[in-house]
Structure 1
């Protein structure tokens, strides 16, 4: 079931009185998105997801610094560049998921941006450039 399917089944990201559906920053072993139905953002899984999102964003920031340094190195080899490009793709996937999750939890009346064709919930084996 995709996020769209979950929202269609419940009518929106709001489930019941004060409840909402939250896209979590991890996937099932099959690569499918995980969702949490919660009454507030203070439960154990919500806090765990907050920590994971923060970690993913911090790692993306650090990776960006490494990528900039590597790109400024004239002797960087193709293998190194492919490696950092693959990590950047993974990081972008995580960052887009965090952004989408947070956008879906905006207060009523605030419309999140439309989703683009790129799907941050694609399984790892569907990512371009992986395993080549």
Structure 2
């Protein structure tokens, strides 16, 4: 594995709702591609659900049962999106700070405060 690679958090849960992880050097392995496709589906469904939420919330008289179902579905979609973001974020290469002697590329922490 490369230096920045850790276990990949997969976009589905295992038994008892526990997270599933993948350890591989091959980003094109069958399981890696399946995880990529599943993430894309989850994010696409979340986007569609968000469009639906806008429609429901724009209705003058929203049914409480429909609002409850919408809140439940939005919670699930947000959970999936956060899992995808965490998984992808952990797979990014770790940034290294530049040499402080090179002002054009160094990070000035005082500018962040």
TM-score, with length taken from structure 1: 0.68
> Once the 2 structures are TM-superposed, how far is the Cα of residue 17 of structure 1 from its aligned partner?
5.1
What is the match of residue 108 of structure 1? 94
Relative to structure 1, is the Cα distance of residues 25 and 97 closer, same or farther in structure 2, using a 3 angstrom cutoff? same
For 1:95 and 1:77, the matched residues in 2 are separated by 26
- Is the contact between residue 25 and residue 98 of structure 1 (CA under 8 Å) also seen in structure 2? yes
Runs of at least 5 residues in structure 1 that lack an aligned partner in the other structure: 1-15, 111-132
Quick check: which has more Rg, 1 or 2? Answer: 2
What is the match of residue 77 of structure 2? 91
Q: Displaced runs of 4+ in structure 1, greater than 4 A? A: 16-19
For 2:60 and 2:42, the matched residues in 1 are separated by 29
For 1:107 and 1:42, the matched residues in 2 are separated by 18
Deviation string, structure 1 residues 14-73 (Cα, Å, up to 9, x no partner): xx4566310000001210000000112110000000000000000000000000000000
Runs of at least 5 residues in structure 2 that lack an aligned partner in the other structure: 97-113
If asked which structure has higher relative contact order (CA below 8 Å, sep 6+), I would say: 2
> Once the 2 structures are TM-superposed, how far is the Cα of residue 75 of structure 1 from its aligned partner?
1.6
| Alignment coverage as a number of residue pairs | 95
Query: Which of 22, 35, 48 pairs up with 1:36?
Result: 22
Q: Which has the larger helix fraction?
A: 2
How well do the aligned residues superpose, as a CA RMSD in angstroms? 1.5
Query: Which of 50, 63, 67 pairs up with 2:53?
Result: 67
For 2:84 and 2:58, the matched residues in 1 are separated by 29
Counterpart secondary structure, 1:20: coil
TM-score, with length taken from structure 2: 0.79
- Is the contact between residue 10 and residue 21 of structure 2 (CA under 8 Å) also seen in structure 1? yes
Counterpart secondary structure, 2:62: coil
